[in-house]
Structure 1
């Protein structure tokens, strides 16, 4: 764990104040972020392999994942339909079919990377030194580049404020996810700050898993990663089935991924009117994931 939470915020803040107008450099940063995520997730797998009583710890990870997934999902879905009821969005798409399985394969790659790290760690006759230190150093660099990505996403403050549905969806997801986290804390008998931090991932599985793993260890990191990844996979399947009747619910359940990974599905099955809502809600949730997670981590430390 870092000596101060500010040290984790600092690279994110510095990156956010860097405005780039060169598409080549932005493309390079996007690729670098992808590579760094793979590296850190591989190191997460190595950390899991070093756990004592690995089989029982994997059971704990699955228990945490399933509990948080059910409680957060139920709370999200209990509130989001009210936005569709009182602030309806007309869907303009004809139900275009998408190769969703191809997008699911992209998520599967990350699982394979974690699994590869776990397998290699189990096969090595010795433990590799400096895994945690390496993860922390790479995390600081990753947060710096993520700050640049958020700063150059193309959204202005005026565009965010004027899109009331996007803001409402983000607010509902935040509050109901915390409610689900509180329920999970009660069921699992874990510290409330840990549960609130874990429930603030909002679908950003790579960053959520990395931050939780750095703060609370590989059990929380693995559970958070699997929780948010499962959320995204369910969203990919559910959006085409629900978005024409419940567009705000579908966009909201996608969480932070509504501005990137699930956006093509939202656009093609929900229509162009859903796009700005998805981008705004996804952007707000994305920028708040590290802020809120680290805030709750600091409260518990």
Structure 2
């Protein structure tokens, strides 16, 4: 007989996956895709601001800042380092050269977007410090925003023009995705071994963000509270910073590792710098890899976090 906890876990998984499939099922419309992309950009800022507001409500937060910084530092090194190392070994023993020549133009690296995202959290935190209790966001706000976020992502994925069949037929994309996922989860296991206060499933859930900061922040906040939600958020933002700075460097000899650095953002935010530093030939790999990771990340986060 299914327990209430298992039922809650199933409902949570449905709430995450249903909007994704609905987004895929909607008729492809250029106007709808453009509108969803625009709305997604604004929604991310709203979500990050709300996370800042919730973080401000945590009692004794000042005493937890050092812990948060420590958790983020260790988790970032483990998740970014494990995925990067595994894919570098993969490139070493299974060399792959993108079709076409690399771009000669120096890629333009912009961290403006990442700084803006961090600013939203800070603004939300300041608002939360002075916000009267009666004006705080409803308890289910994050769940509603999560469903909208996943729906918009589903529309965007379908609007990218690539089908699931094309993704699965990309052998290199599948291999890169599997190696990356397993390696990063191994990093999560090491995180669990280091910190006694963190459970194995919680460590795996935190590691499963794969750079999707808006989603990981919501799921981890709902599952473990605002402190761990902020750890997930900044862990994935660190990946974004690192990817923007070092994708061109690793692209020279290890293109799969360079693509893997972006994690879930390889499909969108870091795709331009992947193309600029690796040429058009590396774009299919980035799209296939990013597509798969965008599907895998929410499933793993919800499944692992449901076990506490």
Shorter-chain TM range is over 0.9
Partner Cα distance (1:8, 1:76) in 2: 29
Matched residue, 2:96: 89
Q: Which residue of 1 aligns with 2:113?
A: 106
Query: Which runs of 5 or more residues in structure 2 are unaligned?
Result: none
Q: Which residue of 2 aligns with 1:241?
A: 249
Q: What's the counterpart of residue 266 of structure 1?
A: 274
Q: Report the alpha carbon displacement of residue 243 of structure 1 after superposing the two structures with TM.
A: 0.4
Residue 10 of structure 1 and its aligned partner are, at CA, apart by 4.9
Partner in structure 1 of residue 258 of structure 2: 250
User: C-alpha displacement at 1:144, in angstroms?
Assistant: 2.2
In the alignment, which residue of structure 2 is the partner of 1:58?
A: 65
**Post-superposition offset of 1:33:** 1.6
The 3-state SS of whatever aligns with 2:269 is: coil
- Stretches of structure 1 lacking an aligned partner (at least 5 in a row): none
In 2, the alpha carbon distance for the partners of 1:11 and 1:116 equals 32
**Corresponding residue for residue 305 of structure 2:** 297
1:178 is matched with which residue? 185
For 1:216-231, list aligned pairs within 5 A: 216-231=224-239
Instruction: Give the drift of 1:154.
Output: 1.8
1:214: which partner in 2?
222
Say if 1:270 and 1:6 are closer, same or farther in 2 by CA, change over 3 A.
closer
Q: C-alpha distance in 1, partners of 2:64/2:161?
A: 42
- C-alpha change, 1:233 and 1:10, in structure 2 (3 Å) is closer
Query: Residue 48 of structure 2: which of 35, 41, 51 is its match?
Result: 41
Q: Deviation at 1:61?
A: 1.8
- The residue that corresponds to 1:74 in the other structure is 81
Q: CA deviation at 1:127?
A: 6.3
Please give the per-residue CA displacement for 1:184-237, whole angstroms capped at 9, x wherever unaligned: 011122011111111111111111112211221111111111001100111111
Shift of 1:260: 1.0
Provide the alpha-carbon RMSD of the alignment.
2.0
Aligned length: 298
**Post-superposition shift, 1:251?**
0.7
Could you give the per-residue CA deviations for residues 132-162 of structure 1, whole angstroms, max 9, x where no partner exists? 3222222222222222223333222332122
Bigger mean CA offset, 244-253 vs 120-129: 120-129
- Asked whether the 8 Å contact 1:80–1:249 carries over to 2, the reply is yes
C-alpha deviations, 1:251-300, integer Å up to 9, x for none?
A: 11211111111111111111111110111001100111111111112233
SS at match of 1:203: coil
Q: Does the CA-based 8 Å contact 2:24-2:157 persist in structure 1?
A: no
Aligned to 2:141: 134
2:25 partner SS = coil
Find the aligned partners of 1:237 and 1:162 in 2 and give their Cα distance: 30
Any residues of structure 2 matched to 1:150-165 within 5 Å, and which? 150-165=157-172
Counterpart CA distance in 2 for 1:112 and 1:54 is 18
Determine the C-alpha separation between the residues in 2 that align with 1:10 and 1:186.
Answer: 31
Deviation at 1:32, TM superposition (A): 1.3
Q: Is the counterpart of residue 286 in structure 1 residue 294 in structure 2?
A: yes
Q: Equivalents in 2 of 1:238, 1:114: separation in Å?
A: 25
